[in-house]
Amino acid sequence: MTPKAIPARDRLIFAMDVPDCARARSLAEELGPSVSFYKIGLELMMSGEYFELLDWLLERDKKVFCDLKFFDIPATVGSAVRQLKDRGASFVTVHGNRSIMEAAAENKGDSLKVLGVTVLTSLDRGDLDDLGFDCDVDALVLSRAKQALESGCDGVISSGLEVPKLREFIDDKLLVVSPGIRPVDNKPAGDQKRVVTVETAFGNGVDYIVVGRPIRDAASPRAAAEAMQASIAAQFKA
């Protein structure tokens, strides 16, 4: 288990993967106090009201993770992170090599944390072959985590499957945020290929989990979120 002093209810990050900000606000109001941390990504960025939604969530004392996976020449990524650093977001994601991550880390300011993407949870060994990576998933995750640490990033995005080896490699020097979380084993994963349960993720040493469809598509999103919160609280009970 991670020893970091993170409020248990903040460890659940809800992935707000909806097409527009009206739907996002409605869903946030439905979830109420069951969720304190929201991830808003590219779909909402393209809706045209991304920063209005960011401000709206912050006004309601929510934390926000801007999952934008910046990937461009280092100067452009550095400038993009610099534009974001004073907007109140807690996390932002970057993709790419060491120079890209270094540029992001150099421009993040004091409150924004930069998370380096290791291997997307939608990818498996066959996908890495298609992309031209001559290594297994574990090796690529560890390599990217090492680059993130040496570049000054605050954490990484990683499947919970690779976290035990990652923790052996980097100890607790980086935050680990894991998507691809399902409430129980053997549930359909959609486009996620490397998934784990809530309990397995935290048992493996994850700091935060990112959950989308199991909450969004539940008959009662708030009840689904509260059930996950109860599971997390049980994991971290003294």
Q: What are phi and psi of 182, to 5 degrees?
A: -125, 145
The residue type at 13: I
Q: Choosing from 4, 62, 63, 69, which is the catalytic residue?
A: 69
CA dihedral angle for residue 141, residue 125, residue 18, residue 73, rounded to 10 degrees: 50
Q: What CA–CA distance (Å, rounded) separates 215 from 17? A: 11
Residue with tokens 């990504």: 41
| 4 included as an active-site residue | no
Fill in the amino acid letter for 170.
I
Start-to-end C-alpha separation, the chain:
12
**Whose structure tokens read 């006004």?**
59
For residues 215 and 202, the answer to whether their CB atoms sit within 8 Å is no
Report d(CA 65, CA 37) in Å as an integer.
7
Catalytically active residues are 69
